[in-house]
Amino acid sequence: MRNDKFLSPSASRTQEIGCEIGKSLRGGEIIFLSGILGAGKTVLVRGIAKSLGIRSKVPSPTFNIFRVYDCVLPKSKRKGKFYHFDCYRLKKYTELRNLGWEEILADSNAITVLEWPECISDRDVIKTPDKKIIAAGIKLENNKRVVNITVLKR
């Protein structure tokens, strides 16, 4: 996965795209996921989670801010953690840091997805050291979802 564009006419296809993304992960990646309300961000995350062996329901963490799941990293078969953040209600980096962000970044067996990273207005959270950074954006065009994946940092 480098820079890819996927078209999705349905929620099930959006979830399949998430599975494709998830299968390429090794651990240590951070995925910044943007899109308007209802674009399918959480559906995409469910696909990523499925590819990591997570069988439990993966709801949006809007009110919890984040959820953590045990997972298996597809490339290495090591055990890891999958963190799913929804930053919609966060405004400052200190709020993210107070949730254990820096400890999560230190875990090389963690895969982290942040929905709405643009809501953290006082610091560019994309500038994280020693992590593979993937930007995923979902747009709605002609009743289809367009999922753009860009690897920002290897």
**pLDDT tens digits for the chain (154 residues)?**
567 899 999 999 999 999 999 999 999 999 999 999 989 999 999 999 999 999 999 998 888 899 999 999 988 889 999 999 999 999 888 899 899 988 998 899 999 999 998 888 776 666 666 677 888 999 998 889 999 998 876 6
* pTM metric for this prediction: 0.91
Edge-to-edge strands, sheet with 132-141: 4-8, 144-153, 132-141, 29-35, 110-115, 79-86, 66-72
Q: How far apart are CA 12 and CA 42, in angstroms?
A: 12
- Alpha carbon distances (Å) from 134 to 57, 89, 142: 24, 22, 25
Q: In total, how many domains does the chain have?
A: 1
> CATH no. for residue 104?
3.40.50.300
Could you tell me the residue range of the domain that residue 76 belongs to? 4-153
- At 74 the pLDDT is 87
